Amino acid sequence: MAHLVTLIPGDGIGPEVAAAARRVLDATGVAIDWVVEEAGAAVLEREGTPLPERVLEQIRRSRVALKGPITTPVGTGFRSANVELRQALDLFAAVRPSRSLPGVPGRYLDVDLVVIRENTEDVYQGIEYPLGAPETAELRAELRRLELEEIRDDSAFSVKPISVTGARRIVRFAFEFVRSNGRRRVTLGHKANIMRFSDGLFLSIGRFEADRQPNVRFEDMEIDQLSMRLVRDPERFDVLLLPNLYGDILSDLCAGLVGGLGLAAGANLGWEYAVFEPVHGSAPDIAGRGIANPLAMIRSGAMLLRHLGEHEWAAAVERAVERVLEEAAVRTPDLGGASSTEDVADAVTKHLAS
């Protein structure tokens, strides 16, 4: 029976890389029944929301989706459709591997990291109070009453909730991921010396669960120190377990260690649904030019195949990507080449068949 998969091309370079990934996955011969759903900038213009309810409904039906990036206008008060989607489907774990690849220029030869990012809480929960709004003044007055401290009246607020429920499930997910993927060590990143109660809670739950995991090495590190050590010595790290904001930032940093955003794949996982998408955004600077690197999206497609139980084909797609990179004849400009998105998809497809 064919696998039912929702395909959300997204906007910017999304449709270009989504078409390339679909072509590669179809070339495997795995039977996939694609249902395409539009989301993003054009839908926002037409319908007043970038993520109509029908898109979520379709993902609930298929349970799995492959998704391209969706633009979030900066500082307009518009909520990110990406964050909304993760919250609506309770996709609480983002899994983002970064591994050195043959033929890809980089400073390090032997990076093999996975970022596990809590995906639903933290400052991304969307509890925000804009400058000048009456509710902002109310919150400020309440905080002043509780803290006995003056807060500037020209302040805006973003609230950072971290719950026991949210922290515990991502911590347990990370340990389970380590066990089932033959990994060795978890490094938890935090800033609990400053955010004593929110990051402090995340850290104490991490330590509590680690004590019950005698076979997994565990360490914790302040996020600034972790950032420095990641750029100096990334090869020593294995699985990074991070609250939402730090996870977002360090995912891009880790992608940069091994060839950049054009290669970085990811999964958003919950108990019921799974949405696979590249780490990169809609790249408006190169959208529509046919030069976006489709490999991040193709590799996200390989993660999707594995999730569907098509392990051999997932490995075959990954091998084909590696062969293309190794040969270095066909690559997009972000990797120093002059090939198009389609050329890269063609090359991967050719290797799949060989």
DSSP string over 89-131: TT--EEEEEEE--TT---S-S--EEEEEEE-SSGGGG--EE-T
- Which of 124, 129, 246, 273 is catalytic? The answer is 124
Task: Say whether residue 261 binds ligand NAD (CB under 6 A).
Answer: yes
Nearer Cβ to ligand NAD (283/316): 283
- 280 is a contact residue toward ligand NAD (CB under 6 A): yes
67 is catalytic: no
5 within 8 A of 34, measured Cβ to Cβ:
yes
Instruction: Check residue 262 for interaction with ligand NAD (CB under 6 A).
Output: yes
Query: Quick one: how far is CA 346 from the chain centroid?
Result: 26
296 binds ligand NAD (CB under 6 A): yes
Asked about 224 being catalytic, the answer comes back as yes
Q: How far is the CB of 196 from ligand NAD (least distance, A)?
A: 30
Q: Does the footprint of ligand NAD cover residue 277 (CB under 6 A)?
A: yes
Minimal distance, residue 335 CB to ligand NAD, in Å? 8
**Min. distance of Cβ 291 from ligand NAD in angstroms?**
7
Q: Total binding residues for ligand NAD by CB under 6 A?
A: 22
Q: Does 9 interact with ligand NAD (rule: CB under 6 A)?
A: no
The distance of closest approach from Cβ of residue 155 to ligand NAD in the complex, given in angstroms and rounded to an integer, is 24
Q: Is the dihedral of CA 20, 339, 114, 124 positive or negative?
A: negative
> Is 90 a known active-site residue?
no
Nearer to ligand NAD (CB atom), residue 111 or residue 261:
261
- 274-276 sheet: strands from edge to edge: 32-36, 3-8, 64-67, 274-276, 267-269, 93-99, 112-118, 239-242, 185-190, 217-222
40's CB contacts (< 8 A; 6+ apart) are 9, 10, 11, 12, 14, 50, 70, 71, 81, 282
Candidate segments 27-35, 117-125, 283-291, 316-324, binder of ligand NAD by CB under 6 A: 283-291
Is 199 designated active site? no
Helix, strand or coil, per DSSP, at residue 195? coil
268: closest CA among 260, 259, 277?
A: 277
Give the 3-state secondary structure percentages of the chain, helix then strand then coil, rounded to 5: 45, 15, 40
Q: DSSP letter for 4, please.
A: E
**Interface positions, 63-92, toward ligand NAD (CB under 6 A):** 69-72, 82
Smallest gap, in angstroms, from Cβ of residue 81 to ligand NAD?
8
Helices (H) and strands (E) in the chain, counts: 12, 12
Supply the minimum distance, in Å, between the C-beta of residue 309 and ligand NAD.
25
Among 37, 199, 310, 334, binds ligand NAD (CB under 6 A): 334
Residues noted as catalytic: 124, 191, 224, 248
Chain residues binding ligand NAD by CB under 6 A are 13, 17, 69-72, 82, 261-262, 277, 280-286, 292-293, 296, 332, 334
